[in-house]
Chains A and B, each alone.
Chain A
Amino acid sequence: MKIPLRYNLRSLLVRWVGTLMTAIGIGLTVAIFIVMNALVNGLDSTFVQTGRENQLVIIRQGSLAETNSYFDRGLYETVRLLDGIAHDKSGQPLASGEITVIINHPRLTGESANVLIRGVSDMAFAVRPEVKITSGRKFRDGLRELVVSQSLANRFQNMQIGKTIHIGRSDWRVVGLMEAGGTAYDSEIWADYEDVAQEWDRPIYSSILVRANDAKAAESLTKRIKDDQRINLQALDQKTYFKDQMVSSIGIKALGLFIAVVMGIGSCFAAMNMMYSAVMGRMKEVGTLRALGFKRRSILSSFLVESVILALAGGILGCLMALPLHGLSTGTANFISFSEVLFHFRITPTILLKGLAFAAIVGVLGGILPARRAARIKLVEVLRD
């Protein structure tokens, strides 16, 4: 049997000030680690959640996103009549021709950011049942009216119902707020297609979102559009299209990793410092344990376990510090569309476990040298002192 755990627990409690300070230090690192992960997770899940099975985003060949795609209006008529596209109850093909433009608009905090405006028809709502108008009403055509996502309204100036925004050459009035179930559409402003096309003098479409009858139909539609040289369009699986935009989180991931590594190293030293002082203060105890017959590896593992317990206590503190941020919304630039994408910090049990694992690693790395020191004491010298 090994040295009892209560020996380590009580030793940590006896030195509670040092234990608490070190745990708080490690906790802060873990909190940062969790927040960074929650940020990336929130952003990624915004893109992952967007899109439905068997739906295709059709854009100009060679374009990476709707925002840099445009094609002739006539192509819309060609595409919507293709075989394999599902129809609504009234027999209309589920194909939504849309135009996207980006405006620069001030946030509530003053600085400006790019926001995506999507010009749509009623069909846009039919192919995106997740988009719901939560207050106010839908825009009417010809009146320069806007429906703004709730998230944008919370973060940008004059995006609340009844307010007017000057965009393009006209004043546009906000008449409704919408929510899109945490998808990328939660970062958009929607307006009537014709109004947007006129305002920007662009009698074109940026994209067509179509729903195929089934997976097979989606596949053959994709091939058909690709192979048809006349239309010069490409059809992308809607889910994949948005997943590819997860590249936006690469910067945050890299920064997060960098900060976590740097702070992690700092925390290792904090744990090491604490454990060295624990070992130095308990040399006589270590000597006694060795004299009683405990082997070196028992001493090593005992101090290592103590270091991990200390770090895990910090890890738990870190989780508690980070948890209040769950659900908080924030925004960043979508590197594909160059518009603001809004998302929520998403702290999941997996992220919390990762945070604890991160803490445990800090504990092991910080504890290994002091534990080795304890295991390698010169027994006679320690007992003589």
Chain B
Amino acid sequence: MSEPLIEISALSKVFQRDSVEVRALDRVDMQVFPGDFVCLMGPSGSGKSTLLNIIAGVDRPSEGSVIVAGESLNEMSEDELAAWRNHHVGFVFQHFNLIPVLTAFENVELPLLLTSLSKKERREHVTTAMELVGLTDRMDHYPRQLSGGQEQRVAIARAIVTDPTCVLADEPTGDLDAHSAREVLEVLKGLNEQFKKTIMMVTHDPHAAAYASTRYQLEKGVFSKEGARQTV
């Protein structure tokens, strides 16, 4: 078996809410391998989004270590994490998080502005990403001119345009109707199967979870015994 792409050891996250200590993650261990399509499931407050945010370098653990693509996130500064995210992580949000005043093309181009690519190269990359999500005819549309499903596909294009090490999706279908959700999940599945993209997805939805190759079930900050790692 190849080296794990994401390796999490004894990871804990503790929040202080007023005087109460909330343990969102409690000594979690996890390994994700290149090309995996991992789904994190669990009820609200089980710690799945927290885990995803820590892997994305958006949040920091209280204890334990996170190594992604051979780099330990624990020691990085805020700015180093920002640069690291740009290089390694494609993030897909539940509410799409497109910039409303930028067109679909400009939204997808955003992460590339942090690279050294020329304008022409950026255009090529954006066009390729938009082709992969099937929206080349919507490049000049503003988010408000797109349907929810299309917005999320633009967000996926933005997440993959830098060819990141992994795509992290937090409830990517949470705001979508069944039809749009299916479209988005097909896109993610396609990326995983055709381009061997490693995908980690948080979801409530069992239909969405069915697209993943590996499922984890989180409950109260720990992986439940039966759901620790189910390979489909």
Partner-B contacts on A (CB < 8 A): 1-4, 6-7, 10-11, 13-14, 284-285, 287-296, 379-380, 383-384
- Chain B nearest CB, measured from A309 CB (Å): 14
**B216 at the A/B interface (Cβ < 8 Å)?**
no
Judging by beta carbons under 8 Å apart, are A293 and B111 in contact? yes
Question: In whole angstroms, how far apart are the Cα atoms of A289 and B106 in the complex?
Answer: 13
Is the pair B102, A6 in contact by a Cβ cutoff of 8 Å? yes
Most central of A3, A293, A383 by chain B CB within 10 Å: A293
* Interface core residue of A3, A288, A296 (most chain B CB under 10 Å): A288
B110:A289 contact, CB within 8 angstroms = yes
Mostly helix, strand, loop or mixed at chain A's interface? helix
On B, residues with C-beta under 8 Å from A are 49, 53, 56, 58-59, 78-79, 82-87, 91, 93, 95, 97, 99-102, 106, 110-111, 113-114, 158
A10 to B142, CA, bound (A): 12
Q: Please list 15 pairs of residues, one from A and one from B, whose beta carbons are closer than 8 Å in the complex, sorted by A's number.
A: A4-B102, A11-B101, A284-B97, A289-B99, A289-B110, A291-B97, A292-B86, A292-B114, A293-B82, A294-B82, A295-B78, A295-B82, A296-B78, A380-B58, A383-B53
| Contact across chains for B91 and A7 when beta carbons are under 8 A apart | no
Q: A295-B82, A296-B78, A296-B79 are in contact. Are A288 and B99 (CB under 8 A)?
A: yes
A383–B58 alpha-carbon span in the complex (Å): 9
Picked from B49, B86, B101, the residue with its CB within 8 Å of the CB of A293 is: B86
A64 to B117, CA, bound (A): 71
Find chain A residues with CB under 8 A from B78 CB: 295-296
By CB atoms of chain B within 10 A, which of A1, A291, A295, A380 has the most? A291
Q: Contacts A291-B58, A293-B85, A294-B82 known; A380 to B53 CB distance under 8 Å? A: yes
Considering residues A289, A290, A294, which has the most beta carbons from chain B within 10 angstroms of its beta carbon? A294
* B102 and A292 form a contact (CB under 8 A): no
In the complex the two chains form, is A7's CB within 8 Å of B111's CB?
no
Contact indicator A14/B101 (Cβ below 8 Å):
yes
Q: Residue on A with the closest CB to B86?
A: A293
Considering the complex, give the chain A residue whose CB is closest to the CB of B53. A380
**A300 to nearest B CB, angstroms?**
12
| Bound Cα distance A324, B34 (Å) | 69
Report the minimal beta-carbon distance from B48 to chain A, rounded to whole angstroms. Answer: 13
B56: chain A residues at CB < 8 Å are 291
Q: A292-B86, A295-B78, A383-B93 are in contact. List 11 more A-B contacts (CB 8 A).
A: A6-B101, A11-B101, A288-B99, A292-B91, A293-B84, A293-B87, A293-B111, A296-B78, A296-B82, A380-B53, A383-B53
The interface residues of chain B lying within 8 Å CB-to-CB of A288 are 93, 97, 99
Listed residue (B49, B86, B99, B113) with the most chain A CB atoms within 10 angstroms of its CB: B99
| A292 and B93 contacting across the interface, CB-CB below 8 Å | no
- Which of A4, A14, A284, A295 touches B83 (beta carbons < 8 Å)? A295
Least distance between B92 CB and chain A CB atoms (Å) = 11
Give A285 to B97 CA distance when docked, in angstroms. 7
- Residue among B79, B87, B114 with max Cβ neighbours from chain A (10 Å): B114
For the complex, what is the distance from the CA of A1 to the CA of B112, rounded to whole Å? Answer: 9
B102 CB contacts on chain A under 8 angstroms: 4, 6-7, 10
